[in-house]
Amino acid sequence: MSSFLASALWSIPALPLAGAVVLLLLGRRSDGWGHLLGCTTAFASFVLGVAMFAGMLGLEASERRAQQTLFTWVPVEELQVDFGLRLDALSICFVLLITGVGSLIHLYSVGYMAHDPERRKFFAYLNLFLAAMLVLVLADNFLVLYLGWEGVGLASYLLIGFWQYKPTAATAANKAFVVNRVGDMGLLVALMIVFTTFGSLDYDTVFAAVPEAGEGVVTAIGLCLLLAACAKSAQLPLQSWLGDAMEGPTPVSALIHAATMVTAGVYLVTRANAIFDAAPAARLAVVIVGASTLLFGAIIGCAKDDIKKALAASTMSQIGYMVLAAGLGPAGYAFAILHLLTHGFFKAGLFLGAGSVMHAMNDETDMRRFGGLRTVMPITFVTFGLGYLAIIGIPPFSGFFSKDKIIEVAFGVGGFDGIVLGVVTLLGAGLTAFYMTRVMILTFFGDRRWAPDAEPHESPTVMTWPMIALAFGSVGAGGLLVLGGALQHWLEPVVGYDHHEGGLPVWLVTALTLAVVLAGVAVAWRGYAREPVPETAPAAVSALTTAARRDLYGDDANEALFMRPGQGMVRTLVGVESAEIDGAVTGMAAGIGAFSRGLRRTQTGFVRSYALYMFAGATVVVGALVLATM
């Protein structure tokens, strides 16, 4: 990479950040062109990222790295932290995903938000989101990462609650913010332990010293990092905010689910691979979280009638695949990133397709009121359909290559553990095929169940072109990235690579996966294409369906375990404060008041009274003197 490109590393996050600052400071004066500036800064950052990627291609694997120190950030005694950025084989993957998919979402938003009076502010927040995520993935130490981590949380709060006049949107934004604060505490505690143990927050220094630290300390750091990852990537037990976040504008959902927020947790675990490799217990916890969330999200997706919430549950499940793969160590890190990249294309395309349907259906999200849209929205149908084929893993679409690799690595663990993980990933693939086929049928096939005032039509060109571009990624990204082990070799200098020899033959894993996927498609087709779809979901359903409609009682569990005990603790503390602390304060005040009132009665204003007081005082003094001389 040329020295010029390396010196321009700061420009990648600075461009969208500058766009956000300009749009927020100029306010209404930028209403006419704010969206153009937002798109330009995002696209310019993407072009710069592509140029740096091209410069890295011609270098040896050990030389594909550039660092830039902008200034000394924290010069405090032993805590010396520079504001530094790092570009390597891992971070460039995220830079291209964030800026590439982010630019397409910016362009789509020009049409989607065309009639919103706050469109300029919306683009400012989108730019801020990109800038924060870029700082997160380009950081060369944990403190700069923490800055980007908090910036992502702030931007998500602003965008989820963008239509804050809707109580549901304001509540969803608050919920996302509060849940993520729990995870942020995990990251903060991890940073404290890291500095106490290693005396530094710099990646190179910390990772090099990990083998010398005790396993208990490294495990504690890993578990705290996992807590942070669970919140950002909506994994159990901090997943409850993701479905409610669909209250934000649809481009926000696409950006959160495909290119920014939910990928942050996967990045954190992968970047800290040296810590997790040295802490088997922490890595096992990562695997358990990923496997559990994989099924948790898939089951919820099977029961959702809201198209965006069905896709949100799908994201939870797909991120579970990535987290599980990352928990398998060097054998899985590269495939976690592979699925993250392919997922960025097809999930962004699916969300933008859902937004296109909503745009045509007067913002209706209930799939039971869609049907037959393939004939009136052909571009949306084709692009959404390609994303659908990618996510369920039909060859040769991108999801086939990335998800199959994770299933293969899961079986490759060997023994009983490998069987369990392999079955879990296979079951997740079947459920994914079922709920995504259900989405396709309810939306684009069958009878037209539109509202009387609905006049569906294809979206404008500014919205369809980004969908078409993402559809190309849904088709070819996976094959290109696994061709000759391209991504594995690319990431090996950062995350290593260890090919498991155990497990089932590749051809058998592929055959099993395709059989399970086709079974899921068949069950969905039989249940929704061959039977009439009622306008409202049947009330009499199984206990599992009822639970899935209520997000498997995730909110109920949080309410029972945290909210109500928290309220009880607050009431107890308020009672203690009122009875003890306030009682002591008010009692002292009452005593002083009573004494003052008694003293006030002695101030009569009569001279004879004051003379009597003086005589009494003189008598006391004389008496004291007499007693003293005796």
**pLDDT tens-digit map of 506-550:** 999 999 999 999 999 999 999 999 888 887 888 767 888 888 888
| Predicted confidence (pLDDT) at residue 193 exceeds the cutoff of 90 | yes
| Predicted confidence (pLDDT) at residue 630 exceeds the cutoff of 80 | no
Q: What is the pLDDT of residue 540?
A: 65
Mean pLDDT over the full length of the chain = 92
Give pLDDT tens digits for 304-313: 999 999 999 9
| Predicted confidence (pLDDT) at residue 155 exceeds the cutoff of 70 | yes
Q: Residue 571 — very low, low, confident or very high, per pLDDT cuts 50/70/90?
A: confident
DSSP 591: H
| Predicted confidence (pLDDT) at residue 602 exceeds the cutoff of 80 | no
| Predicted confidence (pLDDT) at residue 327 exceeds the cutoff of 90 | yes
Verdict on whether the full-model pTM lies above 0.75: yes
Give pLDDT tens digits for 465-508: 999 999 999 998 888 888 888 999 999 999 998 876 667 889 99
- Amino acid 189 reads V
Q: Is 55:110 a contact under the CB 8 Å cutoff?
A: no
- What are all long-range contacts of 395-399, with beta carbons under 8 Å and residues at least 24 apart? 395/514, 396/475, 396/478, 396/479, 397/346, 397/474, 397/475, 397/478, 398/342, 398/345, 398/346, 398/473, 398/474, 398/475, 398/476, 398/477, 398/478, 398/479, 399/339, 399/342, 399/343, 399/346, 399/474, 399/478
Query: CB-side exposure of 460: number of CA atoms within 13 Å?
Result: 9
Report which of residues 555 and 317 the model is more confident about.
317
